[in-house]
Amino acid sequence: MITATDNKIVLITGANKGIGLAAAREIARAGHTVLLGARDPGRGTEAAADLAAQGLDVRFVRLDVTDPETIKAAADLIDTEYGRLDILVNNAGISRDRPHPPTELPVTALRETYETNVFGVVAVTNAMLPLLRRSPAGHIGNVSSGLGTVDFLSTPDSPLWRYANLLGYNSSKAALNAITLIYANSLRDAGIRVNALSPGFCATDLNGHSGPLTATEGGAHIARQVLSPDERTTGVFLNENGGTYPW
């Protein structure tokens, strides 16, 4: 049973649907307070209300990771209402690759992808760091993809090789993996863990619902990874099936 002192304050970006929503549900079911971040007030409010109606401690927080004003407002709200943040899950992500081959991907599409998948993660993380530093065991989880690992991109015989040409998405996740390692090294002495998280290959709006896992399964994997009691593991890419992935 979760006690008041065990309760964690958890912020999840891009959580009004898909993997983010499923993770919010699982984390709240474990007895924690979930701040459901979403850029669309209508969808975010509805998603949070649905979970709250199930008796879960979930609250909508307007947060567009590409909008500095909403990021600051979210940080201010968390500061005022809770005084700290225990777990940040940088889940918001997009893909603008299809139907373009990498040699024809418009730079505007690449830039849009990076605004959410890379720059948005840095902006939200930096805004939430003062709150994470107040946690007795802060944890930042960056939802990534094996498609962005050097191991995958240099393995032509991989069963997923047909996805290796996603220039925007894959390179943005490669950048996110590097960001994860840099923050892990920078925040190690502060006691804040930073890890990349894998939900597995899930069928979501992002990939045209083509993955073998459901968003519910992916969300459960993310919830388990961020709620792990192991306070020593940092700077790794957590595998949805346990253990870690190579970078």
Q: Looking up tokens 């991109």, which residue turns up?
A: 153
Q: CB of 44 within 8 A of CB of 62?
A: yes
Neighbouring CB atoms inside 10 A of 21's CB total 26
d(CA 74, CA 80): 10
Question: In this structure, what token pair is assigned to residue 9?
Answer: 């304050």
Q: If you write DSSP's letter for every residue of 173-225 in order, what string do you get?
A: HHHHHHHHHHHHHHHGGGT-EEEEE---SB--GGGTS--SB-HHHHHHHHHHH
Give catalytic residues, as residue numbers: 169, 173
| Residue 50, amino acid | D
Residue 7 zone, left/alpha/beta (φ > 0; ψ -120 to 50; rest)? beta
How far is 122 from 113, CA to CA, in rounded Å?
A: 14
What spatial distance separates the first Cα and last Cα of the chain, rounded to whole Å? 36
